A and B are shown apart, each in its own frame.
Chain A
Amino acid sequence: MANLDDLYREIILDHYRTPRNRGELTSPSAIRTEGFNPLCGDELVVYLDVQDGVIVDIKLTGHGCSISQASSSMMSAAVKGKTVAEARATIDRFKQLMTVHESSLDGQGEAPVADIRTMGELAALQGVVKFPVRIKCATLAWNTLSQGLDEA
């Protein structure tokens, strides 16, 4: 049975209660990308200031559940100051983390990614895969970031 504590880790609740990098950057110099989750009504705007291939600043506005809010907050902290290439690699690893692996769901087998230890705080979101309907909450921010980087 999936346990709620797997979903609502303390670190996730912390990011939900005190989200990082809230606010706006002025576009057009910053890239502004909107993300929607039409089923839940979650809305997210990601502002990116990319200079010379580096994410110099990132800000977020919008609203959503604890998982989508925490995921976007953690995402912003993870990619701020990183190169676009590094950010893309992080997106890929996060997506992999969110892939449902039957074997890890029933408690057998390994976590889906081998290098989970390198993911820092983001690893706390791993429990989301045990709640498949919530995966889209966690991935909204990352899909939106990915779209924004396409414009960088």
Chain B
Amino acid sequence: MSSYSARRVRGDTPLLGRVINGRPITYLDSASSTLPPRPVIEAMTRYYELRHANVHRGVYQTAVEATDVYEGARAATARFINAPQGLDEIVFTKNTTESFNLLAKSWGAANLTAGDVVLVTEMEHHANIVPWFQLREQTGIEVRFVPVTDDFRLDLSDLDRLLDGVKLFSFTAASNVLGTRNPVKELTRIAHDHGALVAVDAAQSVGHQPTDVVDLDVDFFCFSAHKMLGPTGLGVLWTRAAILESMPPFLGGGGMIADVRVDGYVPASGPTRFEAGTPPIAETAGLSAAIVYLEGLGLANVARHEDELTSDALKRLANEFDGRVRVIGPAENVDRGGVLSLDVDGVHPHDVAQVLDQFGVCVRPGHHCAKPLMRRFKLAATARASFGPYSLTTDTDVLLEALGSAVTMFG
């Protein structure tokens, strides 16, 4: 039985005990990075205090333990997303961005040639755009975009035509700017009907809702540990074992080889083929702890809680400020996550964030690495507030108080 109380999560999260500018911190930047609870921090500390050694090499006790920590995290991650063939399908990367680079530079370069199409969407993070542009420069592939409607949803009216000739449809499960959640399962089915493979940017979904890659039936799945209560410096690429075995190596060096001679090398098989050099090990201890912690909370409970916070915040933002604060994202809390991009009439997002900081409120101003989307809505930036498992309605209270101050200050 999982039990969940956002208040308890808050108590477990040391950083939320900080006082900023004389006020208790109001952390509303979980879309950028989530805050690790104590068990995650302690797992990493314990690893360094008791077990640290390089992995996959030594025969001595701690080296074996370090390898167990690392491979144990692979198994935990496989279980967490329900990878059908377990740890053989989990590649550790640095972050979501590196996962997409691995996908484009290994699978993409080996499987796509001039004229092949990669379909992405106008609401993608640069991590799922730029690697495809780079591949386009090298191979002459076409990168096509699914447009976004005025209601902040994918415009699927022309999807069949857009999917024509597409080898890979790569899209985000949830927008880090709009909060919009895309119908991953349905889009995957349609893409498969057109003979395309599907890659999903799950950076904004894995820490906020249950994940099952078998149920979704996707082919590639990318996410970052630091957006699911884990540490920075560690990301994941999941793909089907059959696809993974067909992908050429990415970075070369130690750890990724089966053999090296003076006349060449043989890459290792399995995920380690993509993990050149000493990997982040303590971080995998942190990720395992984050997974156990999230499973303890129950991701369905987290989703429900964040959903309630979002409904409440949307309602209050709409009712206060005489329309001066606009939410750039779905106004109805349907198929959306707890990301609230704010456009405050007459106040630049940087100034909004600066005033909010005075209240200890952490929000992110800027283009959120989604410039095509910002251009689509003729915005240079927004001030983005986003929820995590530890967020409470009192965070929204302080947000509104601080927003009121920003609106007054700039008249």
Residues of chain A having any CB pair with chain B under 8 Å: 1, 4, 7-8, 13, 16-17, 39-43, 63-67, 69, 131, 134, 137
Cα distance A150–B391 in the bound complex, in angstroms:
52
Distance in Å: Cβ of A134 to nearest Cβ of chain B: 7
Residues of chain B lying within 8 A (CB to CB) of residue A63: 380
Residues of chain A lying within 8 A (CB to CB) of residue B350: 40, 65-67, 134, 137
Is the CB of B265 closer than 8 A to any CB of chain A?
Answer: no
- Indicate if the CB atoms of B354 and A40 lie closer than 8 Å: no
Is the CB of B138 closer than 8 A to any CB of chain A?
Answer: no
Taking A4-B355, A65-B350 as contacts, is the C-beta distance between A13 and B410 under 8 angstroms? Answer: yes
Instruction: Give B341-378 as 1s and 0s: 1 = Cβ < 8 Å from A's Cβ atoms.
Output: 00000011111001100100000011100000010000
Residues of chain A lying within 8 A (CB to CB) of residue B354: 4, 7, 131, 134
Distance in Å: Cβ of B378 to nearest Cβ of chain A: 11
Is the CB of B381 closer than 8 A to any CB of chain A?
Answer: yes
Residues of chain A lying within 8 A (CB to CB) of residue B347: 66
Is the CB of B409 closer than 8 A to any CB of chain A?
Answer: yes
Is the CB of B111 closer than 8 A to any CB of chain A?
Answer: no
How many interface residues does B have (CB within 8 Å)? 19
Distance in Å: Cβ of B60 to nearest Cβ of chain A: 47
Taking A1-B22, A39-B366 as contacts, is the C-beta distance between A66 and B351 under 8 angstroms? Answer: yes
- Indicate if the CB atoms of A42 and B410 lie closer than 8 Å: no
Q: Choose one: B22, B366, B409; the contact of A41 (CB below 8 Å).
A: B366
Q: Choose one: B358, B367, B380, B381; the contact of A4 (CB below 8 Å).
A: B358
Residues of chain B lying within 8 A (CB to CB) of residue A13: 409-411
Cα distance A109–B325 in the bound complex, in angstroms:
41
Cα distance A39–B366 in the bound complex, in angstroms:
7
Cα distance A49–B14 in the bound complex, in angstroms:
57
Residues of chain B lying within 8 A (CB to CB) of residue A42: 380
Is the CB of B246 closer than 8 A to any CB of chain A?
Answer: no
Cα distance A145–B50 in the bound complex, in angstroms:
58
Residues of chain B lying within 8 A (CB to CB) of residue A131: 354
Distance in Å: Cβ of B359 to nearest Cβ of chain A: 10
Considering only residues 266-292 of chain B, those with a C-beta below 8 Å from chain A are: none
Residues of chain B lying within 8 A (CB to CB) of residue A39: 366
- Indicate if the CB atoms of B381 and A8 lie closer than 8 Å: no
Distance in Å: Cβ of A150 to nearest Cβ of chain B: 27
Residues of chain B lying within 8 A (CB to CB) of residue A8: 351, 409
Is the CB of B149 closer than 8 A to any CB of chain A?
Answer: no
Is the CB of B21 closer than 8 A to any CB of chain A?
Answer: yes
Taking A41-B366, A41-B381 as contacts, is the C-beta distance between A66 and B411 under 8 angstroms? Answer: no
Cα distance A17–B345 in the bound complex, in angstroms:
12
Closest residue on chain A to residue B381 by CB atoms:
A41
Cα distance A41–B365 in the bound complex, in angstroms:
10
Cα distance A63–B380 in the bound complex, in angstroms:
8
Cα distance A137–B351 in the bound complex, in angstroms:
11
- Indicate if the CB atoms of B351 and A40 lie closer than 8 Å: no
The 5 closest A-B pairs by CB, nearest first: A65-B350, A65-B348, A41-B380, A66-B351, A41-B381
Closest residue on chain B to residue A4 by CB atoms:
B358
Closest residue on chain A to residue B371 by CB atoms:
A41
Cα distance A1–B348 in the bound complex, in angstroms:
23
Would you mind naming 25 contact pairs between A and B with Cβ atoms under 8 Å apart?
A1-B21, A4-B354, A4-B409, A8-B351, A8-B409, A13-B409, A17-B410, A39-B366, A40-B350, A40-B366, A41-B366, A41-B367, A41-B374, A41-B380, A43-B380, A63-B380, A64-B348, A65-B350, A65-B351, A66-B351, A66-B410, A69-B348, A131-B354, A134-B350, A137-B350
Residues of chain B lying within 8 A (CB to CB) of residue A4: 354-355, 358, 409
- Indicate if the CB atoms of A66 and B348 lie closer than 8 Å: yes
Distance in Å: Cβ of A132 to nearest Cβ of chain B: 12
7 further A-B pairs in the complex, CB-CB below 8 A; given A17-B411, A64-B380? A4-B358, A8-B351, A8-B409, A40-B381, A41-B380, A65-B351, A67-B350
Residues of chain B lying within 8 A (CB to CB) of residue A67: 350-351
Instruction: Give B68-107 as 1s and 0s: 1 = Cβ < 8 Å from A's Cβ atoms.
Output: 0000000000000000000000000000000000000000
Residues of chain B lying within 8 A (CB to CB) of residue A69: 348
Cα distance A9–B374 in the bound complex, in angstroms:
30
Residues of chain A lying within 8 A (CB to CB) of residue B365: 40
Residues of chain B lying within 8 A (CB to CB) of residue A137: 350
Cα distance A63–B22 in the bound complex, in angstroms:
32
Cα distance A64–B349 in the bound complex, in angstroms:
9
Residues of chain A lying within 8 A (CB to CB) of residue B410: 13, 16-17, 66
Residues of chain B lying within 8 A (CB to CB) of residue A17: 410-411
Residues of chain B lying within 8 A (CB to CB) of residue A16: 410
Residues of chain A lying within 8 A (CB to CB) of residue B374: 41
Distance in Å: Cβ of B168 to nearest Cβ of chain A: 29
Closest residue on chain B to residue A17 by CB atoms:
B411
Distance in Å: Cβ of A23 to nearest Cβ of chain B: 20
Cα distance A23–B366 in the bound complex, in angstroms:
25
Distance in Å: Cβ of A55 to nearest Cβ of chain B: 27
Cα distance A65–B411 in the bound complex, in angstroms:
15
Cα distance A46–B381 in the bound complex, in angstroms:
22
